[in-house]
Amino acid sequence: MRVVVGLGNPGARYARTRHNVGFDVVDALAERHRVELKEKRFKGILGKGRIGSEVVWLCKPQTFMNLSGDCVGPLAGFFKVSPEDIVVVHDDLDLPHAVVRAKLGGGHGGHNGLRDLSKKLPSADYLRVRVGVGRPDGPMDPAAWVLARWTPDQDRLVPALIERAADVVEDVVGRGVKEAMNRWNGEGPVQP
Q: What CATH number has the domain bearing residue 171?
A: 3.40.50.1470
Confidence at residue 76, expressed as pLDDT on a 0 to 100 scale: 97
Confidence at residue 72, expressed as pLDDT on a 0 to 100 scale: 98
State how far the Cα of 15 lies from the Cα of 152, in Å rounded to an integer: 15
Q: Is residue 174 scored above 90 in pLDDT?
A: yes
The per-residue pLDDT for range 23-38, each reduced to its tens digit, is 999 999 999 999 999 9
Residue 120 domain-assigned (yes or no): yes
Residue 192 domain-assigned (yes or no): no
Find the domain containing 35 and state its range.
Answer: 2-184
Residue 189 domain-assigned (yes or no): no
The pLDDT-based confidence of 21 (bands split at 50, 70, 90) is very high
The pTM of the whole model exceeds 0.75? yes
Confidence at residue 109, expressed as pLDDT on a 0 to 100 scale: 86
Residue 133 domain-assigned (yes or no): yes
Residue 44 domain-assigned (yes or no): yes
The number of distinct structural domains making up the chain is: 1
The per-residue pLDDT for range 38-55, each reduced to its tens digit, is 999 999 999 999 999 999
Give yes or no for a contact between 58 and 47, defined as CB atoms under 8 angstroms apart.
yes
Choose, from 19, 90, 97, 111, the residue flagged as catalytic: 19
Q: Is residue 137 scored above 90 in pLDDT?
A: no
Residue 160 domain-assigned (yes or no): yes
Q: Quick check: is 90 catalytic?
A: no
Residue 191 domain-assigned (yes or no): no
Confidence at residue 129, expressed as pLDDT on a 0 to 100 scale: 98
Confidence at residue 102, expressed as pLDDT on a 0 to 100 scale: 97
Pairing of strands 2-6, 86-92: parallel
Three-class HEC string of 114-176: HHHHHHHCCCCCCEEEEEECCCCCCCCCHHHHHHCECCHHHHCCHHHHHHHHHHHHHHHHHHC
Pairing of strands 127-132, 86-92: parallel
Residue 134 domain-assigned (yes or no): yes
